[in-house]
Amino acid sequence: MTVQSYYLPGSLAEATALLAEQGPALLVMAGGTVVMPLINEGISTPQKVMGLRRAGLNYVRHEDGAFIIGATTPLARLLESDVIPMLREAARHTATWSIRNMGTVGGNLFVPPPAGDLAVALLALDAEVKLVRAGGERIVPLSAFWTGFLQTVLAADELVAEIRVPEPGGLTAFRKFGRKQANTPAIVTLAVHLVMADRRVQEARVALGAVGPHPLRARQAEAALIGQPLDTATIATVAELAAAECEPFTDAIASDWYRRRMVKVQLSRVLMSFVAEG
Amino acid sequence: MAATIVRFFLNGRPTEVMVRPLMTLQTVLREVLGYTATKAGCKQGGCGSCTVLVNGEPMVSCLLPVEDVADQEVTTLEGLTPAEGLHPLQQAFFENFATQCGYCTPGMIVVAKALLDRNPHPDRATIIEALSGNYCRCTGYEPIIRAVEDAAHRLNGGRP
Amino acid sequence: MISPAYKVVGRSVPRRDGLGHVTGKTQYVDDIHLRDMLHLKMVRSPIHHGLIKAVDLSEAEKVPGFVRALTWRDVPKNIYTILCLIGVGPDEEFVLAQDRVLWKGEPIVAILAETEEAAMEAAARVRLDLEELPAVFDVEEALKPGAPILKPWGTNYFIYDYEYGQSNPCRKIRFGDVEAAFAQADYIVEACYQTSPIEHAPTETTGCVVRPEPDGRFTVFTNTQALFFTLDNSALILQVPFQKLHFVGGTVGGGFGGKVDVIVEPIAILGAIKTGRPVKYRYTREEEMRVSSTRAAWRMYFKDGVTKDGRIIARRVVSYHDAGAYNRHSPYAVTKHAANLTGPYSIPNVAIDAYCVYTNRQPSSAMRGFGVTPASFAIEAQMDRIAEVVGMDPWEIRFRNAYRNGDIRPYRKRVEDATLIEVMKAAAELSGHRLPEHLLAMNSWERPSAVPAPQSRPAPRPPAQRLRGKVRGVGIAAVNYPTGMNLGGDPSQALIHATTTGNFVISLSSTDLGQGLKTVIAQIGAEALGVPFENVIIDTADTDTGPHCMGTFASRATHRVGNAVIQAAQEARKVMLEVAAEELECAPEDLEPDGKGFIRVKGSPEHAISVVDVALAAHFKYGRSISGRGMYIKPKSTVDPDTGAMDPDSTEAHACTVAEVEVDTETGEVTVLSLKSAYEIGRQVNPALVKGQITGGSFMGMAHALYETTAPYYPRPDHSPGTFADYVLPGPAELPVIESVVLEYPSVNGPFGVKGIGEMTANSPIPAIINAIADATGVRLTEIPATPEKVLRALDRARAEAGL
C-alpha cells in the first residue's frame, strides 16, 4: 500500500506515545538509509512510517568517563566531535559522505550484515543501549542486544533512545576490510579493545562484523588472550580461534570461506599492529 | 491519504509544496518543482547522482523524506549556476573534460562544492574520499579529480 | 605517420554538450514528466524455468490508481526478435511471456497506474500460478543429453546457416589443417578460459516516455542507442505503420551496449495506444542489474600448436557463449567472436567451433567489446602461457607472431591496417622497457627474412619469494579491435544544409552516449566543409528529421557517420563554391574556404567572400540550396558455413597495455599500480575525447579483470547483485596511474583515417593485469574477475605444491 501516514515527532515522548498508539504496524526509521531504499523499490510496503530525525535524539555528551550519544546522531557528527578514536575511525569507514550525514548511530544497530561497522566498534567498547517506551526505560548491554539475524531484544513498543559508551582503558584498533578502500560493504570488520598489565593481556574484547547474523564477540579468542603476552604464537592461536568461532555467510561480495579466512588474516594483522606500536 | 504542505528554502528561495506522505526530496524536486538537475540513478542511495546540500551538507535526496527538510536550506546544482557564466567548479568540469554522458555530473559538482566550502585546499586523497559516494561509469574518475583540484585553484585565486 | 594541417580535426575543442552537463540542463528521458502520465511496472517471473498455468489480475485491479494491465494477448505481434530487420532469426522470444518462462525476471504482465507506487503495488498483487521446471545454468551441461531443452526447435544451441539449408550447431572457421600442424608442433599448449557475465551499469537506467500526439502519432522519448532500429522493431511488434512512430533521443546517460535491446519501447507504446495517455517505463536500478541484458559469460577451450622458435602454427578453439534464455544479439556476437579468436596474430592453421548456448539465465546481449573482449582476454593470457612453455620473453613471442599487412586471416580477409608492432613498441617505450634491437627493427608491413635467436627468458624468482608477503609484477597484452559490424550493410546517412547566414546544420539520427559524437561529427563536418567549428550545428537524434543511422555501437559511429557526413559535406561544399564563384566571377576550382568563414581565391587571398554572404546570395539571389546528402554502407557479406569466410568489419585498431600490479599473497588482493598503454586508432578527431575513452575504458577494464560480475558464483545464479553496494566496482580510490600515447596510421576507409576507439580501451588492460599477476606470483589465472578469493585459492595451491 502506498504510505498513508508519515509521522515526524518532535520529541522522544511524542515518539514513544505514537509507537504505543500505532503498534507494530508503524515502521520506525531513523536516517532512512536502509528503510528508504526498500520502500523505493517496493520491497517494503508500510502504511505508516515514523521518522526520528527531529525527535531530539541528536546529541553527544561526555560525562563521567563515558560518551552518551543520542540514537539519531548522524554518523558524520562523530567525525566532528571529540569522541573515542575508534568510533571516529568506524564512522569514517562507513559508506559515503552523504550516507554518513543521514545514517545514525542508533540506526546502525539495525542494519543487516555485512553493514553495521559502527555497531562492531560499539560492541568492543562495551556499549549499553537505553531502550525507552511510553512509561518506562531499561538499559541493555549491547552484547545482549542482538538475538539473531535482524532480531533484537527491542520490544514492539520500545525505541533505542541513546547509547552509552565508556571510554576505553586500553589499546583499541578498528579495521574494516572490504573490496574497496571506501564506500564498500565489509568482508570482515574488526574492533579490538585490549587492557594490558605487565605486558600481558588483562582484558580483551574482540568484536567481529560481517561474519555472523549480527556483530559478534569472539569469546574463545578473547579467552585465549587473557594472561598472554602479545607475541606471534599467541596471535596465531587467537586468530585461528576467532576464525573458527565466527559464523560467516556467503553473499555477492564474498563467500563464507573467504570471510572466515579473512577473520584470521585481518585479526592477526590488527593484533600485530599493537606489537609494532610496542 | 493526507497531503501536507512543506515549506523549505530551495536555492535561497522560500518554497512551498503539497506532498504525499514520505515523498522524497528527489521526487519533489524533479516531478513537482521541475528542478531536474538532481538526477535519479538508483533510488537506493548508492550512486550519488541525486546529491543535494541540506544546510551545506551533502545528502542523497532519494532517501530523504521532504518533510524532514522543512524550514531547512536545500541547495541543488541549479542554485550553484549563476545567472551569467559558470561557477568555477562548473568551468573546471567543462574545461577538464570531466563530463561525458553527464548523468553523474550534477551530483559530483554538488559534493565538490560542499568539499571546497569546508576545505579550500583539499589534497588528492581528500578529494577522492569526498567523491567516493558518487558513481561514474564513463570517465574513470581521473578528470573529475583534476577538475576539483583545478576549481580549488581558481577559487583560491591561483588561476584565472 | 602523417600529421596534415587540418584546421578542426585533431583539436581538443570543448564538448558541444559540456555546458548542458555542468549546469544540469541536459535533458534525459527520466527528466520528462507529462501531465496525465502513467507509470509502467512489469510483473516478472520469480522462477528460473517454468510453465505459466494462470495469471490472476483481480487483486491488482483493486489497487487505487491501477489503470490497466497488458498481457501477451494485448500485444499485436508478440514476437521479440530484434535482429529480424537484418534477417537473423529465429523467433523465440516474446514481448510478454505466453505459456512459459525461461529466466528469472522474464516479463509477464505490464501494469499501468497513475503513480509509480501504485504500479509497484499492483504489480506485487498479480498472482502467478507457475509450475517450476528443472533449470540449467552451465553451458556444457546445457549441451549434454538429458538437459532440459529450452528452445522450440529442440536444442539448447543456436542453429547456424539454416539460410543455406544447413544445420550447424556452431559457427565454424576452418583454415588450413590443424591436425597436421599439431602433429608437427614442438609444443601443445592447452587451457580453458572463463569470463563472467557483466552488467553495463550506466549511471542512467534504461527507459522511455511515450506521448500520444494530436495527429494520432506517438512520440517516444528514449535513451536507446539506436533510434531507427528501435522504431522499426517497435512498429513490427505493434503492427502499426512505421510512420505512426516518432522517436526522439539524443543524450544517453551511459550506453556501453546496454541500450540496444528495444526492451522498453514496444510495451510502453502499447500502453499509450491502449490508454490514450503518456506512459513512462523506466528500469529501476535493480532491474538494470538483474533484468537488463548483460555481457555474456564465455568459456573458451584453447589448444595451440607451437614451434620451438615461438611460432603458433595451429590453433583450435571450442568456445561456448552463454546467451542466457534468449538470442537478442548473441548469434551475431558469436560470429564476431569466432572471427577474432586469432586476435592480431598470424596463425596458418585454425579451427574454431563457437557455440551460442542457451541457459536459464538473464539473457546476454551487446556490451562494449561485444564478443571480442572475452576473446582478447583469452588470447593474451594464452600468449603469456605459450611464452612460458617455449621459454621466450612475452614481447618477443608477440612480435614474432604479429600479423602483417597482406597476411590472410582465418576468415579469409586480407590484413590491411596492421599496426600491432607499432603499438607494442610505443607501449614498451612508455613503460620504460627497452626492447632488443631485432624487435625494434620490425614493422607491421613486412616480415623480416630472418629473425635472430631470441634472448633467453630470465628465470623466475623462486616460489618462496613470489608466494609470501606483497609481491609485484608486470604484464603485457596486445590486441586488435575491429570497427563496425556487418550484417545488412551497417549503414548511416547524413544530411547537411546551410542556413541564410552561413551556418550549417548536420541532420542525423545518431545518439551520443557521452563519448562525444556530437562534438566529433561537428569537427568532421566543419573540416570537410571548410568552415569554422562554431558554424556547424548538429541536429540529432530525431527520426522525423534525421536520416537513418544504424546506431551508436560497435565503435562504428565516428567511422560510419563521419564518412556519411564527409560525403554530404562534399556535395554542399561544391554548391557553396559554385555560388561563391558566381559572386567573385571566377571558376569554382580557383576557390578554397579558409576555415575561418571566408572563401578565397587561391593565390590571391584578398579576393574573398564571406560564407555568410555566399549563403545570403544562394538563398536570395540564385535560388540555390547549399546542401548535401551522405551515405555510408558496407556491402553485406555472408558467412561461409563451412569455412567461416566473411568480411565482418571495416578496419582494425590496435592497443598494447603494460600493467603493473601488487598482490597481497595473504589476502589475494590485487592492486593495479599502473596501466600504460599505446593506442593506434587511425586519426584522433578530438584528442581530449580520445583520452576520455582511454581513461574511462582502462578503468572499466580493471573493473572487469578484478571486480565486477552479475553472477559472483557463476555458473550458479545465486547472490546476483541488485544494488551498487553488492555489484562490486572499484571507486576513485582504486585508480591506478593511467598513462597513454596515441599513434595515428590513417585507415584506408575511415573519415580522415579514423578507425574508432570506443570499445577497445577496456580490452588490453584485462589480460595485461592477469599476466601481471602471473609475473608477480607465478600463478596463471584463467577466470575473470580474478577476485581475491580466486587469487588466494590459486596461491594456496601453489604454496602447497611448492611445499611452503
Q: Give the model confidence (pLDDT) of C643-681 as tens digits.
A: 989 887 788 999 999 999 999 999 999 999 999 999 999
Name the minimum distance, in Å, from the CA of C28 to any CA of chain B: 8
- Write the DSSP symbol of residue C652: E
- Which residues lie closer than 8 Å to C304 by C-beta, 6 or more apart? C188, C189, C190, C312, C314, C315, C316, C382, C386
The reply to whether residue B137 touches residue C732, judged by beta carbons under 8 angstroms, is: no
What pLDDT shows up at residue A1?
Answer: 65
Is the Cβ of B122 closer than 8 Å to some Cβ of chain C?
no
CATH number of the domain at B88-155, please? 1.10.150.120
| pLDDT over threshold 80, residue B123 | yes
pLDDT of B55 strictly over 70: yes
Residue C2, pLDDT > 60, answer: no
Q: Is the pLDDT reported for residue C129 higher than 80? A: yes
Q: How far is A185 from chain B (nearest CA, A)?
A: 11
The answer to whether residue B36 neighbours chain C at the CB level (below 8 Å) is yes
B31–chain C Cβ distance below 8 A for any pair: yes
Residues 6+ positions from C132 with CB-CB distance below 8 Å: C47, C49, C50
Name beta bridge partners: C252: none
Question: Which whole number is the average pLDDT over B47-65?
Answer: 98
Q: Over 90: is that where the pLDDT of C748 sits?
A: no
Which of B57, B65, B132 is nearest residue A32 as measured by Cβ atoms? B65
Please report, as a single letter, which amino acid is at residue C451.
V
Is C583 one of the catalytic residues?
Answer: no
Q: Is C717 helix (H, G, I), strand (E, B) or coil?
A: coil
Q: How far apart are CA C691 and CA C549, in angstroms?
A: 26
> In this model, does residue C45 exceed pLDDT 90?
yes
Contacts of C728 in chain A (CB under 8 A): 179-180, 184, 252-253
Segment C388-413 shows an average pLDDT of 95
- The complex's ipTM works out to 0.97
In this prediction, residue B160 carries a pLDDT of 45
Nearest residue, CB atoms, A180 vs list C286, C731, C789: C731
Examine domains C18-26+491-632 and C298-485+641-801 and report if their fold is the same: yes
What are the Cα distances from residue C245, in Å, to C85, C211, C349? Answer: 17, 10, 50
Question: Which residues of A lie inside 8 Å of B (Cβ-Cβ)?
Answer: 2-6, 8, 31-33, 36-37, 39-41, 49, 51, 53-54, 76, 95-99, 101-102, 182-183
Q: Residues C745-774: what's their mean pLDDT?
A: 91
SS3 letters across chain A: CCCCEEECCCCHHHHHHHHHHHHHHEEEECCCCCHHHHHHCCCCCCCEEEECCCCCCCCEEEECCEEEEECCCEHHHHHHCCCCHHHHHHHHCCCCHHHHHHCECCHHHCCCCCCCHHHHHHHHCCCEEEEEECCEEEEEEHHHCEEECCEECCCCCCEEEEEEEECCCCEEEEEEEECCCCCCCEEEEEEEEEEEECCEEEEEEEEEECCCCCCEECHHHHHHHCCCECCHHHHHHHHHHHHHHCCCCCCCCCCHHHHHHHHHHHHHHHHHHHHHHC
Whether B152 and chain C come into contact, CB under 8 Å, resolves to no
C177 half-sphere exposure, CB direction, 13 A CA radius: 5
Q: What is the CATH number of the domain that holds A40?
A: 3.30.43.10
For C154, the 3-state DSSP assignment is coil
- How far is A35 from A29, CA to CA, in rounded Å? 7
Residues spanned by the domain of A233 = 171-277
Fold of the domain spanning C32-133+206-282? Aldehyde Oxidoreductase; domain 3 (3.90.1170)
Flag whether residue B11 sits within 8 Å of chain C, measured between CB atoms.
no
Average of pLDDT values for C334-342? 94
Which residue in B39, B105, B140 is closest to C22 by CB distance? B105
Give me chain C's average pLDDT, please: 94
**β-strand B4-10 against B73-75: which pairing, if any?**
parallel
Number of domains comprising chain A: 3
Distance from CA of A170 to the nearest CA of C (A): 29
Q: Examine the pLDDT at C510 and tell me if it is beyond 90.
A: no
Domains of chain B, by residue range, sit at 4-79, 88-155
Could you tell me which chain A residue has the CA closest to the CA of C719?
A: A252
Q: Is the pLDDT of residue C4 over 80?
A: no
Whether residue A265 is predicted with pLDDT greater than 50 in this model: the reply is yes
Closest residue of chain C to B80, computed from CA coordinates: C23
Tell me if B141 and C700 make a contact (CB, 8 A cut-off): no
Indicate left, alpha or beta for B11 from its phi (over 0: left) and psi (-120 to 50: alpha).
left
Residue range B19-45: average pLDDT?
97
- Taking an 8 Å cut-off on Cβ atoms, the answer to whether C286 and A41 are in contact is yes
Alpha-carbon distance of C231 to C212, in angstroms, equals 15
Q: What is the mean pLDDT of residues A15-37?
A: 95
User: pLDDT band at B159, cuts 50/70/90?
Assistant: low
Residue C488 is predicted with a pLDDT of: 60
The mean pLDDT value for A151-166 works out to: 97
**For helices C562-584 and C517-529, angle between their N-to-C axes, nearest 10 degrees:** 30
Cis peptide preceding C152, ω within 30 of 0: no
Retrieve residue C86's grid coordinates: 537484418
Q: Which of A116, A149, A166 is the last residue of a domain?
A: A166
Which CATH entry fits the domain spanning B4-79: 3.10.20.30, 3.30.365.10, 3.40.50.2000, 3.30.413.10? 3.10.20.30
b/e per residue, C414-434, with b = 16+ CB within 10 A? ebebbbbbbbbbbbbebbeee
pLDDT at position C85 is 83
| pLDDT score at C83 | 85
Which of C12, C28, C733 lies closest to B103 in CB terms?
C28
Q: What angle do CA C715, C718, C722 make, to 5 degrees?
A: 115
C384: closest CA among C793, C796, C772? C772
What value does the mean pLDDT take over residues A82-105?
96
> Which three cell numbers, joined as nine digits, stand for C755?
578507425
How much of chain C, in percent, has pLDDT values that exceed 90? 84
State mean pLDDT over C102-115: 98
The answer on pLDDT for B1 being more than 60 is: no
Establish if B47 touches chain C: CB-CB under 8 angstroms: yes
Asked if the C298-485+641-801 domain carries CATH number 3.30.365.10, the reply is: yes
User: What is the reported pLDDT for A49?
Assistant: 97
From the number of C-beta atoms within 10 Å of its C-beta (0-12, 13-18, 19+), residue C496 rates as buried
* Domain match, A44 and A82 both: no
What pLDDT shows up at residue C370?
Answer: 86
| Chain C nearest CA to B142, separation (Å) | 7
**Dihedral over Cα of C685, C688, C692, C698: its sign:** positive
Cβ burial of C451 (10 Å; 0-12, 13-18, 19+) is: middle
DSSP symbol at C549? B
Query: Which of C287, C719, C724 has the most A C-beta neighbours within 10 Å, making it the best mutation to test the interface with A?
Result: C719
- Whether residue C24 and residue B100 make contact (CB cut-off 8 A), yes or no, is no
Query: Cβ contact (<8 Å) for A252 and C123?
Result: no
**Is pLDDT above 50 for A257?**
yes
The pLDDT, as a whole number, for residue A43 is 92
In this structure, what are the phi and psi dihedrals at residue C593, rounded to the nearest 5 degrees? -70, 145
Beta-carbon contacts below 8 Å between A and B: 87
C797 vs A: CB within 8 A: no
Query: Which pLDDT score is estimated for C165?
Result: 84
Q: Last residue of some domain: A118, A135, A166?
A: A166
Closest CB to C726 among A177, A251, A258: A251
Confidence of residue B157 (pLDDT cuts 50, 70, 90): confident
Band of residue C13 on the pLDDT scale cut at 50, 70, 90: very high
Is pLDDT at C335 greater than 70 in this prediction?
yes
- How confident is the model at residue C694, as a pLDDT? 95
What span, in angstroms and rounded, lies between the C-alpha atoms of A193 and A179?
Answer: 25
pLDDT one-digit tens code per residue, C153-168: 999 999 998 878 888 9
Which tens digits make up the pLDDT trace of C305-330? 999 999 999 999 999 999 999 999 99
Per-residue confidence (pLDDT) for residue C516, from 0 to 100: 87
**Weakest-pLDDT range from B31-35, C86-90, C138-142, C746-750:** C86-90
C-alpha cell at position C338: 569466432
CATH of residue A91's domain is 3.30.465.10
Among residues of chain B, what percentage have pLDDT more than 90?
Answer: 95
Say which residue the cell 613498441 belongs to: C425
Cell of A162: 541513546
Identify the CATH number of the domain defined by range C18-26+491-632. 3.30.365.10
pLDDT at C277 over 80: yes
pTM above 0.80, yes or no: yes
The predicted pLDDT at position C1 comes to: 36
Which residue of C33, C514, C738 is in closest CB contact with B138? C514
Percent of all residues in chain A with a pLDDT value above 90, rounded to a whole number: 97
Q: What is the per-residue pLDDT across C179-238, written as a single tens digit (0 to 9) for each?
A: 999 999 999 999 999 999 999 999 999 999 999 999 999 999 999 999 999 999 999 999
Residue A7: closest C-alpha in chain B: B21
Tell me the chain B residues in contact with residue A103 when contact means C-beta distances shorter than 8 Å: none
How many Cβ pairs within 8 Å bridge chains B and C? Answer: 164
**Confidence band, pLDDT 50/70/90 cuts, at residue A237:** very high
Mutate to test the interface with C, among A180, A188, A263 (most CBs of C within 10 A): A180
Q: φ, ψ for residue A174 (rounded to 5)?
A: -130, 135
Q: Count Cβ atoms within 10 A of the Cβ of residue C801 and give its class: 0-12 exposed, 13-18 middle, 19 or more buried.
A: exposed
Would the pLDDT of C685 be above 90? yes
Interface contact flag, C117 A2, Cβ < 8 Å? yes
Distance CA A63, CA A66 (A): 6
Contact A36 B129 (CB under 8 A): no
Q: Are C42 and C96 in contact (CB under 8 A)?
A: no
Do the Cβ atoms of C496 and C568 come closer than 8 Å?
yes
Of C31, C514, C696, the CB nearest to B36: C31
Q: Say yes or no: do domains B4-79 and B88-155 share a fold.
A: no
Tell me how far apart the alpha carbons of residues B142 and C4 are, in angstroms, rounded to a whole number.
31
Q: What local confidence, expressed as pLDDT, does residue C283 receive?
A: 97
Give me the half-sphere count of Cα atoms (radius 13 Å) on the Cβ side of residue A108.
35
Instruction: Say whether C24 and B132 touch across the interface (CB within 8 A).
Output: no
> Who has greater pLDDT, C556 or C787?
C787
Q: pLDDT-based confidence at C635, cuts 50/70/90?
A: confident
Which candidate in C121, C422, C660, C759 is catalytic? C759
Residue C180 and residue C183: Cα distance in Å, rounded? Answer: 5
Q: Does C789 touch chain A (CB under 8 A)?
A: yes
Using the beta-carbon criterion (under 8 Å), do C666 and A265 form an inter-chain contact? yes
Q: Where are the domains of chain C?
A: 18-26+491-632, 32-133+206-282, 298-485+641-801
A162 and A72, same domain (yes or no)? yes
- Quick check: C121 contacting A, CB < 8 Å? yes
* pLDDT for position A278: 59
